Amino acid sequence: MSNLEKYNEAFMEVFQIGEDQLTDDLKYQSIETWDSVGHMMLMAALEEAFDIMMETDDILVFESYPKGKEILSNNYDVEF
């Protein structure tokens, strides 16, 4: 599975959404399931998928689907 597929799967599984919703408009609190509880579930899922430990600062600024990719590639060497 490619890194992008892993990334997408974490979003779809945690937020119970389809691939069509994985756009640049997908942001924290833009859908019901991406609340603070869902946010931490997403972080846990990404940590597991990429075998990383995310810093609290990164968890805080992870505010959208595209921003997340940027954080993972800049700070955790995950290539998309």
Partner 1 sequence: MTRLLENKNAVITGCNRGIGFATLKLFAEKGCNVWACVRCENKEFEKKAETIAKENNVWIKPVYFDLGNSEEIKAGIKQIRENKEKIDILVNNAGIEQQGGFFQMTPMAVFEKIFKINVFAQIEFSQYITKLMMRNKAGSVINLSSCAGIDMTGGYMAYSASKAAIISVTKTMASELINYGIRVNAIAPGIVETQMSRGLTDEARENTKNSSLMNRIGEPEEIAEAIAFLASDASSYMTGQVLRVDGGM
Comparing CB distances to partner 1, the nearer of 1 and 53 is: 53
Q: Which of 1, 20, 56, 77 binds partner 1 (CB under 8 A)?
A: 56
Comparing CB distances to partner 1, the nearer of 45 and 72 is: 45
Number of neighbouring beta carbons within 10 Å of residue 7: 22
* Direct distance between the N- and C-terminal alpha carbons of the chain, in angstroms, rounded to an integer: 12
Distance (Å, whole) CA 39 – CA 37: 5
Told to check if 58 binds partner 1 by CB under 8 A, we report no
Distance (Å, whole) CA 33 – CA 53: 23
Told to check if 37 binds partner 1 by CB under 8 A, we report yes
Told to check if 12 binds partner 1 by CB under 8 A, we report no
Interface positions with partner 1 (CB under 8 A): 37, 40-41, 43-45, 47-48, 51, 53, 56
